[in-house]
A and B are shown apart, each in its own frame.
Chain A
Amino acid sequence: MTSAGSPLAGRLSVSSTHFEDRLATRDSTFVKALILTLSLSFFALFVVLPLILVFVEAFRKGGETYIASLTDPDAISAIKLTLLAAAIAVPLNLIFGISAAWAIARFEFRGKQFLITLIDLPFSVSPVVAGLIYVLLFGAHGWFGGWLQANDIKIIFAVPGIVLATIFVTFPFVARELIPLMQSQGREEEEAAIILGASGLQTFWRVTLPNVKWALLYGVILCNARAMGEFGAVSVVSGHIRGETNTMPLHVEILYNEYQFAAAFAVASLLAFLALVTLFLKTYVEWQVERNVAVENDK
């Protein structure tokens, strides 16, 4: 579903001393203490504690069990499948995002706003429904089920289904970063490049792409995180065949349901680590953009 706000465009954090130094915007010590206590306790309870728990539980039975859980053949094949699904879904959605942003931000046409809404649609569909729709199309009793069976092609309960479901749930990530940014940048730089004799491709590579590189990276980071972590949609189409159609999150589920908690948390810790790397990269990109905005404003 929808990520909040439009994350990257025009982010510029203001130092809080800016507010605390001014009389009119300074909250009383009591109010400040109250708000900080409530909000940070809430945050610790709901966000920080679960994160810490993953790592504690992962190492509860020692490093050896931890390593063994991750090097188990089923775990390895789950890791491989997760990487494969992301390696297909992310580039495809990247190409789609660039293409959609180019059409929407550089040209005028009817129904543009509607198109933008449609692109966001996968965010508002339950992951379970996202999986179901491919079962309806390609499952044994689906529209194309008979034909696929006759030709011995497996999509549902097989890797292609997992890839499709992953593409669906990560569909809007790159597009929704690029579209607002490219709309706000306008098309003048590209027009200038064309007037100076650049071809369409030269303009794209030398002017458009460098101008959106951070937003592009941001979209890819978020897209990748979701692609590797998706559970619901993939669960519906996977069939949970060990060593074949299990992704990392599904492997976590199986281990957990078999009461192999330490192993489940070991694989989970890998995913949690991935989430932390994602947050770090995301924050890094935001700082880069903030710095660029600061340079532009500082003239």
Chain B
Amino acid sequence: MSSASRVLPGFGLSLGFTLAYLSLIVLIPLSAVFFKTATMDFERFWSVVASDRVVASYKLSFGMSLLAAAINVVFGLMLAWAIVRYSFPGKKIVDALVDLPFALPTAVAGISLTALYAPNGWLGQLLEPLGIKIAFGPYGVLVALVFIGLPFVVRTVQPIIEDFDIGFEEAAASLGASRWQTFRRVVFPALLPALLTGFALAFARAVGEYGSVIFIAGNIPFVSEITPLMIITRLEEFDYEGATAIASVMLIVSFILLLVINLLQGWTARSTRRSA
């Protein structure tokens, strides 16, 4: 029977502190964006958020974030599968290092990836003769976003593969299914909610990412400027209104993504419970 426990103390104190701290640090400051935006007239707002250069940045940020998340879904699934299902030397180290993009400060990742893919870098000099230019262009953005998004997919899918009851695979095999049929019809559907959640998490992170991208992107107007950079640019010009207008667009996107992720996580939890 779940009811408020009357014997445990501290409800008022803990909830009161939680709400106060949440309001002071998060809610009130965030609301400043919308209050500030609300004081702008619509034409001014629109001229900022729909200007050609900003629209180009949306296209780059969203396009590359989608592409990066998709790449991470493919390779993240393979990596999670390998870590759970196969034994290979150095597996524990790989498992631990999967979280590196999460633990490594983004500025460090940024300069390191830049040095790696710059025309004179370890990988850049191999790619340049082939006419492939990564650093200081849109594909540099993609590389950075792939880097920071990887753990989101692996760590969302990995526990689902770990908990997946092998009885399902044995049942499918006993019913005559091939290994590929079993994967496609039994395993993959069970992993799908987690894959989509991982995709959404990686995408959400990528859209807002700044530190790792800014070094490698080259920041060429209309070509390789990401949306967060547009906010910074406005701030450096002391155009607070303009910065806030773009921030409000990004915040709305964040809220929508948060909602989508919540729904996906609910779906993942439900489908795991069903198959358990």
Contact = CB atoms under 8 A, between A and B. Distances in A.
Interface of A: 1-5, 7, 11-20, 22-25, 27-28, 31-32, 35-36, 38-40, 42-43, 45-51, 53-54, 57, 92, 95-96, 99-100, 102-104, 106-109, 115, 117-122, 124-129, 132-137, 139, 141-143, 164, 167-168, 171, 187, 190-191, 194-195, 200, 203-204, 225, 228-232, 235-236, 248-250, 252-253, 256, 261, 264-265, 268, 271-272, 274-276, 278-280, 282-283
23 contacts: A19-B84, A22-B170, A27-B85, A28-B179, A39-B78, A39-B81, A49-B116, A100-B18, A102-B10, A121-B26, A121-B258, A124-B254, A133-B29, A137-B32, A168-B26, A190-B8, A229-B104, A229-B108, A231-B106, A249-B105, A265-B111, A265-B112, A283-B92
Contacts, number: 334
Given A134-B29, A171-B26, A271 B105 contact: yes
Nearest to B103: A275
Given A126-B250, A133-B33, A42 B26 contact: no
Given A109-B15, A133-B29, A283 B96 contact: yes
Nearest to B229: A128
B14 A279 contact: no
B77 to A, nearest CB: 9
Contacts of A136: 29, 32-33, 36, 240, 244
B205 interface: yes
A15 B87 CA distance: 8
Contact of B228 (A57, A118, A232, A279): A232
B79 A39 contact: yes
Nearest to A112: B15
B156 interface: yes
Nearest to A248: B105
B22 A119 contact: yes
Interface in B1-35: 2-5, 7-11, 13-15, 17-19, 21-22, 25-30, 32-33
A2 B13 CA distance: 27
A256 B215 contact: yes
Contacts of A118: 22, 26-27
Contacts of A168: 25-26, 29
B213 to A, nearest CB: 10
A47 B26 contact: no
Given A32-B86, A107-B8, A171-B25, A128 B232 contact: yes
Given A103-B15, A136-B33, A231 B257 contact: no
A108 B92 CA distance: 40
Interface in B69-127: 75, 78-79, 81-82, 84-88, 91-92, 94-113, 115-116, 122-123
A139 B243 CA distance: 13
A50 B116 contact: yes
Given A125-B30, A279-B103, A232 B210 contact: yes
B109 A191 contact: no
A57 B113 CA distance: 12
Given A125-B254, A171-B25, A256 B210 contact: no
A156 to B, nearest CB: 11
Interface stretch (B40-48, B50-58, B143-151): B143-151
B108 A232 contact: no
B5 A40 contact: no
B254 A14 contact: no
Given A191-B5, A191-B8, A249-B108, A46 B103 contact: no
Contacts of A141: 240
A4 B103 contact: no
Interface in B191-238: 198, 201, 204-205, 207-211, 215, 228, 231-232, 235
